[in-house]
């Protein structure tokens, strides 16, 4: 099975596993998507320190101390920020009989879209259990950084039919051959040097949704010893319908923009749900930049790096969680 197919199966598996632990039928009433300073959860009369990603049940209470801050995402898809020295009791979104599809108001449609975002965030948060990944488990702290490694697109879907390829190399002046392959033949190749990016040209054979493509880099100078070559990195163009659905969800998020961590976490979840793993990585990096002490986010990022072949980046993040 090709790496991109395995990664898309990971997306489906994580989605299937999102926890139904706090409400009997449809999962938690809310989730804590940002937690800084002194924040506690009062559940069944017992107070415990809160943590990022914890599921909240109907009736739970969030309490913040001096300097404490929290952000809560509810199952209906709305967000609430809790400032210092404050409290909030969790109340599940009331259930009601759904209206016929042709009678749904714009408010109903918006609520349904936001609720879907909550579900994909729940799925995405499963990735914080990074040790469950075979890619993570196989990493070794003593591994040396590769002299040449692919960065993007790697084992992911992409939004454009003219993707930009990026890589890392210890000596950027080294001349490399970049080759893009279809399922049965070479589509395009070019020699590059003094750069770490190249864009697929408009005059090359067109790339189509639903087809698995791959690309490699290798040194062209026979005096470079040993020769350098990256493993094949796979990618696929997202289908137009999926792109439209994603744009709708992203616009709903932008219309009700939450705090930075929740915002980037939700965007990462929406991208990951569509198989756009490189985009999910960028948004997770942004979420971590807004909350640099969040080891759960760091574990998610390490998992994404590992599953897209960015071994050294994954090891760097895992080492930070252990410091």
pLDDT tens string 290-304: 999 999 999 999 999
Dihedrals phi, psi of 34, to nearest 5 degrees: -155, 135
| Number of compact structural domains in the chain | 1
The answer to the question of residue 96 being in a domain is no
Nearest C-alpha neighbor of 114 from the set 275, 277, 271, 250: 250
Give, in order, the Cα–Cα distances in Å from 254 to each of 121, 250, 304. Answer: 16, 6, 24
CA distances 152 to 157, 162, 198, 277, Å, are 10, 13, 11, 10
pLDDT (0 to 100) of residue 76: 86
pLDDT level of residue 47 (50, 70, 90 thresholds):
very high
115 pLDDT band (50/70/90 cuts)?
Answer: low
54 is a domain residue: no
What residues contact 89, with CB distance under 8 A and at least 6 apart?
A: 59, 60, 61
Assigned domain for 161 exists: yes
The first and second tokens of residue 106, run together, are 């714009």
Judged by average pLDDT, the poorest of 37-41, 80-84, 91-95 is 91-95
Asked whether residue 162 carries a pLDDT value surpassing 80, the answer given is: yes
Does a structural domain hold residue 184?
yes
Which whole number is the average pLDDT over 265-279?
96
- Mean pLDDT of the region 135-159: 78
CA-nearest of 176, 246, 253 to 217 is 176
Q: What is the CATH number of the domain that holds 166?
A: 2.60.40.10
Helix (H) / strand (E) element for 34: namely strand 30-36
Q: Specify if 180 maps to a domain.
A: yes
Residues recorded for the chain = 323
9, β-bridge pairs: none
- Residue 167: which domain range? 148-237
Phi-psi region of 204 (alpha: psi -120 to 50; beta: other; left: phi over 0): beta
- Other CB atoms within a 10 A radius of the CB of residue 134 amount to 9
Q: Which two tokens stand for residue 219?
A: 């040194």
The owner of tokens 């084992």 is 155
Poorest-pLDDT segment among 33-37, 104-108, 224-228, 245-249:
104-108
28 within a domain of the structure (yes/no): no
Q: What is the pLDDT of residues 212-271, one digit of tens each?
A: 999 999 999 998 888 999 999 999 999 999 999 999 999 989 988 889 999 999 999 999
Please tell me the distance from the alpha carbon of residue 301 to that of residue 282, in angstroms, as a whole number: 9
Band of the pLDDT at 69, cuts 50, 70, 90?
A: very high
Distance in angstroms (rounded) separating the CA atoms of residues 192 and 183: 24
Question: Can you say whether residue 27 is alpha, beta or left, with left for phi > 0 and alpha for psi between -120 and 50 degrees?
Answer: left
| 232 domain-assigned | yes
pLDDT band at 87 (very low <50, low <70, confident <90, very high): very high
Please give the average per-residue pLDDT across 75-88, as a whole number.
91
Instruction: Answer whether 82's CB lies under 8 Å from 62's CB.
Output: yes
Question: Cα(290)–Cα(116) distance, rounded to whole angstroms?
Answer: 24
Q: Minimum mean pLDDT among 76-80, 93-97, 169-173: which range?
A: 93-97
Which of 92, 54, 88, 53 lies closest to 68 in space, CA to CA?
Answer: 88
Least confidently predicted of 54-58, 74-78, 267-271: 74-78
Taking Cα atoms as reference points, which of 209, 200, 211 lies closest to residue 164? 200
Mean pLDDT within 85-107: 59
> CA torsion, points 90, 119, 124, 58, in degrees to nearest 10?
20
306 and 131 Cβ atoms separated by less than 8 Å:
no
Secondary structure element (H or E) that encloses residue 311, with its range: helix 311-322
Pick 28 or 4 by higher pLDDT: 28
SS3 244: helix
Question: Does residue 124 surpass a pLDDT of 60?
Answer: yes
Beta strands in 103-172 (DSSP E): 148-152, 156-158, 164-169
The Cα angle at residue 36 between residues 33 and 42, in degrees rounded to 5:
75
Q: Is residue 129 in a domain?
A: no
> 129: pLDDT confidence band, cut at 50, 70 and 90?
confident
């Amino acid at each position: 099975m090709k790496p991109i197919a395995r990664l898309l199966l990971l997306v489906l598996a994580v989605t299937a596993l999102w926890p139904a632990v706090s409400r009997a039928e449809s999962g938690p009433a809310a989730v804590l998507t940002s937690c800084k300073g002194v924040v506690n959860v009062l559940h069944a009369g017992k107070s415990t320190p809160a943590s990022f990603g914890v599921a909240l049940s109907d009736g739970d209470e969030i309490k913040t101390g001096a300097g404490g801050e929290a952000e809560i995402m509810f199952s209906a898809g709305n967000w609430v920020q809790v400032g210092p020295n404050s409290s909030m009791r969790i109340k599940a979104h009331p259930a009601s009989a759904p209206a016929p599809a042709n009678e749904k108001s714009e408010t109903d449609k918006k609520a349904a879209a936001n609720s879907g975002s909550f579900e994909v965030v729940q799925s995405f948060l499963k990735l914080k259990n990074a040790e469950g990944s075979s890619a993570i488990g196989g990493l070794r702290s003593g591994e040396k950084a590769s002299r040449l490694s692919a960065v993007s697109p790697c084992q992911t879907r992409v939004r454009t039919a003219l993707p930009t390829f990026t890589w890392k190399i210890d000596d950027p002046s080294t001349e490399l051959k970049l080759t893009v392959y279809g399922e049965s033949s070479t589509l395009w190749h070019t020699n590059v040097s003094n750069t770490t990016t190249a864009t697929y040209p408009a005059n090359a054979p067109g790339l189509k949704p639903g087809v698995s493509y791959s690309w490699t880099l290798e040194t062209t100078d026979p005096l470079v010893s040993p020769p350098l070559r990256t493993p094949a990195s796979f990618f696929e163009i997202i289908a137009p319908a999926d792109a439209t659905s994603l744009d709708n969800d992203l616009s709903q998020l932008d219309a009700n923009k939450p705090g930075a961590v929740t915002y980037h976490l939700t965007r990462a979840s929406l991208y990951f749900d569509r198989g756009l793993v490189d985009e999910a990585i960028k948004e997770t990096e942004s979420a971590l930049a807004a909350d640099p002490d969040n080891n759960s986010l760091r574990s998610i990022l390490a998992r994404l790096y590992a599953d897209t072949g960015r071994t050294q980046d994954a090891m760097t993040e895992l080492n930070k969680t252990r410091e």
